[in-house]
Amino acid sequence: MVKIAVSELKDRLQQDYERTYPGLGEIIRTVLDEEEANARKLSSFPHLFLPDLVEVHIATLGLEPSDRRDDDILSSKAVLVPSLRCPSSES
């Protein structure tokens, strides 16, 4: 029963973290596997510790959520547009 709970939790965490960090599925899967092993060392109920262990591990990687990365990309690329003046009709 605990094995099923851990498996379902890992699937949900994988989906949640992949939405936050698209394209990093393999890294997320590795983190989940490592932290599952650590959670099993801590308790007979690893699913109680797994989310917090994964959150801390992800935080140590220094990853930025996708929505924040998009904002940073937009703010770091200045677009210079020359000012266009219409010819004066007063001539």
The token duo for 15 is: 């989906």
**Count helices and strands in the chain by DSSP H and E runs:** 4, 0
Query: How many structural domains comprise the chain?
Result: 1
The structure tokens listed for 20 are: 């936050």
Per residue in 23-33, pLDDT (tens digit) is: 999 999 999 99
Q: What is the pLDDT of residue 18?
A: 96
The domain in which residue 54 lies consists of 2-62
For residue 89, being part of any structural domain is answered with no
Q: What is the pLDDT of residues 19-73, one digit of tens each?
A: 999 999 999 999 999 999 999 999 999 999 999 999 999 999 998 888 754 444 4
Q: Is residue 70 part of a domain?
A: no
**Residue 37 belongs to some domain of the structure:** yes
90 located within any domain: no
Burial class (CB in 10 A: 0-12, 13-18, 19+), 40: middle
Residue 80 lies in a domain: no
Q: Is 89's pLDDT higher than 60?
A: no
